[in-house]
């Protein structure tokens, strides 16, 4: 090779080398970090999702279940004429992992305090393949019944365990333990109820999703009750999640769903309802 | 003569390549913790997305300006809105917004007052690159160079479809603001 050619190639190499080093290499900040938004809302319909609210996020909810759509459908206009059970509530992200909520339900004038803590979080790198959240709910029925206050208490402990399988599909299992100090409060016999809830969400697009929840009772159950099931259509606008659902139970508080559902979804006993979730940021302007 | 010149070029190139980084560093400034934010509007409502992970570098001898931001670090305050924003920007496919260009206005690092600055180059987001000219300010400080700039971006220019559903509709116009302190590369 002639000296001219060598010189030309050397210069070309050096210029290319310099140019290739001129632009910085683009590097992600945390490419293997926690998976985001396994579920869109804090509940599928009534079942708590493993999702916790980001710090300083407030989620205001209106959960609204009408009467049975299939019981005298024309006379009761598919259940819409029957007094609905409404739960008004707020949840707040104390930290990115810890959410605290309050709610009030029409039936039995139930007030409840609920809390979730994200114990494990699935990561994009799969170093943690699942998410696990601990959930508790303490409810007090304030309907006048001449019983001591303690008799009107019930609570639920749950542990939603789940995975975001893809951008479309998320599934969870939720072992649940419910306790009623006075089962007669809900017309039942069992102080303690167990269930292994199953829930899932399938995203049809950026704004629409289908979801379901199922509450199979394990062990003894209150007489006449059935395993509850709900099917929902979700609309996500970024700040709102609207959930339009068909459900067997008219409750949206888990211990009451386990204790009091007398309707068999698969026999056609379902009702229409909707949840509205509205997210707010409470730490200054954003 | 030609032979000598050839060797001189080769040696100069090697000199540039192997020259200790520390010695070249005094004329280059960078930061990995700059602040970037955008302000988005919709009827009766505005919100801001913020990140403190803006990476930037200015090399004074050749006036090169190089900035980029990992868009997944932008926080709008609401988790659901973040998810929506990332899907809109398709951050899985296009995780960065970046600018690479030249400082085309004069800048004197020895003057300690704020100086207006103009940069021209390619701004890239959502996989679309466009030639832009951006006005800003450069302020030499004892620690380095403070950079501040604002401009407006139209979503349609970058093939970004603004989220629009029910009563929630994001405006085409996005106001961008960055500020950072670039320190000398050690």
Q: Among residues of chain B, what percentage have pLDDT more than 90?
A: 66
Give the nearest partner residue to A286 out of B64, B72, B77, using CB atoms: B77
Preferred mutation among A61, A99, A283, A286 to probe B, highest tally of B CBs within 10 A: A286
CATH number at residue A194: 2.40.160.40
Q: Among residues of chain A, what percentage have pLDDT more than 90?
A: 78
φ/ψ of residue A213, rounded to 5: -150, 145
Q: What is the pLDDT of residues B142-178, one digit of tens each?
A: 999 999 999 999 999 999 988 765 556 788 999 999 9
Asked if the model's pLDDT at residue B73 lies above 60, the reply is yes
Flag whether A20 is in a domain: no
Minimum mean pLDDT among A235-239, B53-57, B85-89, B148-152: which range? A235-239
Instruction: Report ipTM (2 d.p.).
Output: 0.79
Domain ranges of chain B: 24-184
Residues of A in contact with B124 (CB under 8 A): none
In order of A102, A113, A280, B55, B137, the CA distances from A59 in angstroms are: 11, 14, 6, 33, 40
Q: Do A10 and B64 touch (CB under 8 A)?
A: no
Q: What is the pLDDT of residues A26-59, one digit of tens each?
A: 999 999 999 989 999 999 999 999 999 999 999 9
Work out the end-to-end distance of chain A between its first and last CA atoms, rounded to an integer number of angstroms.
64
Domain that holds residue A163: 34-281
Q: Do B80 and A29 touch (CB under 8 A)?
A: no
CA distance B144 to chain A (A): 19
CB atoms within 10 A of CB B110: 5
Q: Among residues of chain A, what percentage have pLDDT more than 70?
A: 92
Give the nearest partner residue to B78 out of A24, A235, A281, using CB atoms: A281
Flag whether A215 is in a domain: yes
Residues 6 or more apart whose CB falls under 8 angstroms from that of A22 comprise B59, B62, B64, B66
Flag whether A18 is in a domain: no
In order of A150, A238, A249, the CA distances from B168 in angstroms are: 45, 8, 32
A221 DSSP assignment: -
Flag whether A126 is in a domain: yes
Q: B94 — contact with chain A (CB < 8 Å)?
A: no
Residues of B in contact with A54 (CB under 8 A): 78-79
d(CA A139, CA A110): 6
Identify the CATH number of the domain defined by range B24-184.
2.40.128.110
Flag whether A88 is in a domain: yes
Q: Which residues of A touch B (CB under 8 A)?
A: 3-4, 6-7, 10-11, 13-15, 17-18, 22-24, 26-30, 36-37, 40, 53-54, 56-57, 206-207, 235-241, 279-281, 283, 285-286
Cα angle vertex A151, ends A148, A157, to 5°? 145
CA distance A11 to chain B (A): 6
Averaged pLDDT of chain B: 87
Question: What pLDDT is attached to residue B45?
Answer: 78
Q: What is the pLDDT of residues A158-182, one digit of tens each?
A: 999 999 999 999 999 999 999 999 9
Q: How confident is the model at residue B24 (pLDDT cuts 50, 70, 90)?
A: very low
**3-state DSSP assignment of residue A245:** strand
Give the nearest partner residue to A26 out of B10, B64, B68, using CB atoms: B68
Nearest CA in chain B to A240: B80
Quick check: B37 and B49 in contact, CB under 8 A?
A: yes
Chain B residues 110-139 within an 8 A CB cutoff of chain A:
none
Residues of B in contact with A49 (CB under 8 A): none
CA distance A141 to chain B (A): 33
Cα angle vertex A41, ends B175, A283, to 5°? 45
Q: Do A36 and B79 touch (CB under 8 A)?
A: yes
CA distance B77 to chain A (A): 6
Quick check: B48 and B82 in contact, CB under 8 A?
A: no
Q: B36 — contact with chain A (CB < 8 Å)?
A: no
**3-state DSSP assignment of residue A224:** coil
Tokens of A246: 């068909």
Flag whether A13 is in a domain: no
Nearest CA in chain A to B2: A4
Quick check: A128 and A120 in contact, CB under 8 A?
A: yes
Cα torsion angle, B69, B71, B72, B74, sign? positive
Preferred mutation among A58, A237, A276, A279 to probe B, highest tally of B CBs within 10 A: A237
Domain count of chain A? 1
Flag whether A2 is in a domain: no
DSSP β-bridge partners for residue A190? none
Asked if the model's pLDDT at residue B21 lies above 80, the reply is no
Work out the end-to-end distance of chain B between its first and last CA atoms, rounded to an integer number of angstroms.
39
């Amino acid at each position: 090779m002639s000296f001219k050619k060598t010189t030309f190639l050397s210069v070309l190499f050096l210029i290319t080398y310099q140019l290739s080093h001129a632009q910085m290499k683009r590097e992600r900040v945390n490419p293997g970090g926690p998976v985001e938004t396994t579920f869109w809302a804090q509940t599928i319909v009534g079942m708590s999702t493993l999702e916790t609210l980001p710090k300083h996020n407030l989620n205001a909810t209106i959960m609204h279940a009408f009467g049975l759509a299939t019981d005298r459908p024309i006379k009761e206009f598919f259940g819409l004429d029957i007094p609905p059970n409404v739960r008004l509530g707020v949840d707040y992200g104390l930290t990115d992992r810890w959410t605290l909520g309050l709610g009030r339900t029409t039936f039995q004038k139930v007030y409840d305090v609920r809390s979730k803590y994200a114990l494990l979080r699935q990561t994009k790198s799969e170093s943690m393949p699942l998410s696990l959240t601990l959930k508790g709910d303490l409810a007090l029925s304030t309907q006048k019944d001449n019983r001591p206050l303690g008799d009107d208490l019930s609570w639920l402990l749950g542990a939603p365990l789940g995975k975001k399988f893809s951008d479309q599909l998320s599934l969870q299992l939720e072992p649940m333990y419910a306790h009623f100090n006075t089962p007669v409060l809900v017309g039942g016999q069992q102080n303690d109820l167990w269930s292994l809830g199953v829930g899932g969400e399938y995203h049809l697009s950026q704004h629409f999703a289908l979801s379901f929840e199922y509450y199979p009772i394990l062990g003894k159950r209150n007489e006449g009750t059935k395993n509850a099931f709900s099917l929902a259509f979700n609309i996500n606008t970024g700040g709102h999640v609207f959930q339009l659902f068909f459900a067997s139970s008219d409750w949206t508080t888990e211990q009451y769903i386990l204790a009091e559902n007398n309707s068999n979804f698969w026999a056609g006993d379902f009702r229409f309802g909707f949840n509205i979730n509205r997210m707010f940021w409470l730490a200054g302007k954003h | 003569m030609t032979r000598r010149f050839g060797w001189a070029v080769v040696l100069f190139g090697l000199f540039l390549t192997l020259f200790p980084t520390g010695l070249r560093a005094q004329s280059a400034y960078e930061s990995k913790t700059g602040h970037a934010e955008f302000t988005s509007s919709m009827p009766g409502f505005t919100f801001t997305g913020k990140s403190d992970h803006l990476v930037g570098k200015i090399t004074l001898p050749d006036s090169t300006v190089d900035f980029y931001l990992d868009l997944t670090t932008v926080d709008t305050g609401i988790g659901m809105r973040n998810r929506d924003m990332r899907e809109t920007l398709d951050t899985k496919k296009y995780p960065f917004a970046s600018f690479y260009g030249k400082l085309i206005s004069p800048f004197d690092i020895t003057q300690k007052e704020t100086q207006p600055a103009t940069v021209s180059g390619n701004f890239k987001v959502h996989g679309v690159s466009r030639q832009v000219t951006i006005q800003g300010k450069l302020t030499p400080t004892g620690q380095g160079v403070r950079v501040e700039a604002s401009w407006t971006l139209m979503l349609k220019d970058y093939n970004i479809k603004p989220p629009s559903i029910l009563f929630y509709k994001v405006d085409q116009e996005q106001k961008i603001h960055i500020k950072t302190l670039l320190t000398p590369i050690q």
